[in-house]
Structure 1
Amino acid sequence: MLKIEDLHVYYGGIHALKGISLEVPENKVVTLVGANGAGKSTTLRAVSALVQPANGKISFRGEDITKTKTADIVKKGITLVPEGRRIFANLTVLENLKMGAYARNDKAGIKKDMDDIFQMFPRLKEREWQAAGTLSGGEQQMLAIGRALMSRPSLLMMDEPSLGLAPLMVKEVFKIIKDIHGKGMTILLIEQNATAALQVADYGYVLETGNIVLQGSGKELVANEDVKNAYLGKAH
Structure 2
Amino acid sequence: MLKVENLHVYYGGIHALKGITLEVPENKIVTLVGANGAGKSTTLRAISGLVTTAEGKITFRGEDITRTKTAEIVKKGITLVPEGRRIFANLTVLENLNMGAYARNDKDGIKKDINNIYEMFPRLKEREWQAAGTLSGGEQQMLAIGRALMSRPALLMMDEPSLGLAPLLVKEVFKIIKDIYSKGMTILLIEQNATAALQVADYGYVLETGNIVLQGPGKELAANEEVKKAYLGKVQ
Same fold (TM over 0.5): yes
After the TM superposition, which residues 1-236 of structure 1 pair with which residues of structure 2 at under 5 Å, given as runs?
1-236=1-236
Give the CA RMSD over aligned residues.
0.5
Give CA deviations for 1:96-141 in whole Å, capped at 9, x if unaligned.
Answer: 0000000000111111100000000000000000000000000000
Q: CA deviation at 1:67?
A: 1.0
CA distance in structure 1 between the aligned counterparts of 2:180 and 2:140, rounded to whole angstroms = 17
Matched AA of 1:29: I
2:20 alignment partner, SS class: strand
Q: TM-score, normalised by structure 2?
A: 0.99
Q: CA deviation at 1:235?
A: 3.4
1:128 alignment partner, SS class: coil
Does the aligned pair in 1 maintain the 2:30–2:188 contact within 8 Å? yes
Q: Structure 1: 5+ residue runs without aligned partners?
A: none
Matched AA of 1:103: A
Q: Percent identity?
A: 88
Q: CA deviation at 1:234?
A: 3.6
Q: TM-score, normalised by structure 1?
A: 0.99
CA distance in structure 1 between the aligned counterparts of 2:77 and 2:205, rounded to whole angstroms = 23
CA distance in structure 2 between the aligned counterparts of 1:234 and 1:128, rounded to whole angstroms = 38
Count matched residues.
236
CA distance in structure 2 between the aligned counterparts of 1:58 and 1:159, rounded to whole angstroms = 18
1:6 alignment partner, SS class: strand
CA distance in structure 2 between the aligned counterparts of 1:116 and 1:124, rounded to whole angstroms = 11
CA distance in structure 2 between the aligned counterparts of 1:219 and 1:165, rounded to whole angstroms = 24
